[in-house]
Structure 1
Amino acid sequence: MKESDLEKLKYPIGKFEVPAEYTTEYISSKIEEIATFPERLKKEIIHLSDDQLDTAYRPEGWTLRQVIHHCAESHMNCFIRIKWALTENNPVIKAYDETLWSELPDNLQMPIEPTLNLLSGLHFRITYILKSLSKTDLKKSFIHPESNSEISINQMIGLYAWHGNHHLSHITSLKKDKNWK
């Protein structure tokens, strides 16, 4: 497989791009994408068989089951990071090894229904808090220890809207490639 083909499989919607400005319209549209992610995900995967869920979306990539469980884990971390940014002064957050997490038995074998339920409640909470934030709150941030970079809640909103869409596209691209309904 050519490197450019592999890159397209890894990033079917492209890599996250930081906007020039976090406008009210941008933030509102990204919060809406976050709010609707669980239902959009469920619509795409609820009828897939275990064999389909255990299919990797690309060579040496995660299975769809791992992708679904990863989304819940990543978005739980997002929620906690938002809470830290709102309640502490620019805290250094805890990073986690998503690859190692993806190899644990729950990610490899567990049914997806509990994770879909978790995502529904979690995204309701994320959306609820994000919609209540002031412009000042949206500028609050934390430090990511791996890059030592400061990440604002504004940026988190864009990043996690992209993250959901990114992994949803992994699923829809594989379904299209395999001609799954």
Structure 2
Amino acid sequence: MEQLKYPIGQFVMPEIFNQHQADIWIAEIEALPNQLKSATESLVSEELNQTYRPGGWTLRQVIHHIPDSHVNAYIRFKQAITEDIPVIRPYHEELWAETEDAKSGDIEMSVALLTALHQRWVIFLKTLKMEDYQRKYIHPAQGKELTLANMLGMYAWHGKHHLAHISNTINKA
């Protein structure tokens, strides 16, 4: 069950974070919209309504979740750069996934949203200096401060994590 939930494993922050690592993660964030489009462009409604694991979201919900999550991440990055250790506002992703647009909406909207969002996010990320990645924000639901370095890695991982849910579900069908 753990393999179905975390098909690429859980995110682990490497001990060394440097410009090379940042560049790799930025490239992964930049590549995600095209990868998602390629992985989903031929899916039909029946496939989109499959769950990636028992009790998990449908592929449609996963696809809509990605831009929901990443728009929140983009805002958190901007807050951490423009404010002194801001307290971010968490959101209830499991409830967002139950809204009607997430359960039945056209996935092309979310792929387009993710594409535009990532274009803007990558432009922003490429302006950051290494010291900027040490800036923090407070995540009240997790009860801890998180660095932008950690968050960059987490969101590069997040995209690959959900792409694996999609491809594994399609490939086992």
Q: Normalization by structure 1: what TM-score?
A: 0.94
3-state SS, counterpart of residue 125 of structure 2? helix
Deviation of 1:21 after TM superposition, in Å, equals 1.4
Aligned to 1:71: 66
Q: Which amino acid aligns with 1:158?
A: G
Q: How does 1:39-50 map to 2 (within 5 A)?
A: 39-50=34-45
CA distance in 2, matches of 1:136, 1:125: 21
3-state SS, counterpart of residue 14 of structure 1? coil
Aligned to 2:104: 109
1:146 paired to 2:141 = yes
CA distance in 2, matches of 1:153, 1:128: 16
Q: Which amino acid aligns with 2:99?
A: L
1:33 paired to 2:33 = no
Q: How does 1:60-99 map to 2 (within 5 A)?
A: 60-99=55-94
Gaps of 5+ in 2: none
User: After superposition, what is the alpha-carbon deviation per residue over 1:16-38, rounded to whole angstroms, capped at 9, x for unaligned?
Assistant: 00110112111100100000000
Deviation of 1:137 after TM superposition, in Å, equals 1.4
Extract structure 1 runs of 4+ deviating beyond 4 A. Answer: none
Aligned to 1:3: none
User: After superposition, what is the alpha-carbon deviation per residue over 1:91-117, rounded to whole angstroms, capped at 9, x for unaligned?
Assistant: 010001110110000000110111111
Deviation of 1:56 after TM superposition, in Å, equals 0.5
Which of 27, 42, 54 does residue 49 from structure 2 map onto? 54
Which of 90, 96, 100 does residue 95 from structure 2 map onto? 100
Question: Contact 2:18 / 2:130 at 8 angstroms: preserved in 1?
Answer: no
1:134 paired to 2:129 = yes
Deviation of 1:164 after TM superposition, in Å, equals 0.2
Aligned to 2:18: 23
Identity within the alignment, %: 43
Gaps of 5+ in 1: 1-5
CA RMSD after TM alignment: 0.7
Q: Which amino acid aligns with 1:72?
A: P
Question: Contact 2:8 / 2:161 at 8 angstroms: preserved in 1?
Answer: yes
Q: Which amino acid aligns with 2:53?
A: R
CA distance in 2, matches of 1:123, 1:40: 12
CA distance in 2, matches of 1:150, 1:37: 26
3-state SS, counterpart of residue 68 of structure 2? helix
Equivalent residue pairs, number: 173
Deviation of 1:148 after TM superposition, in Å, equals 1.6
Deviation of 1:149 after TM superposition, in Å, equals 1.1
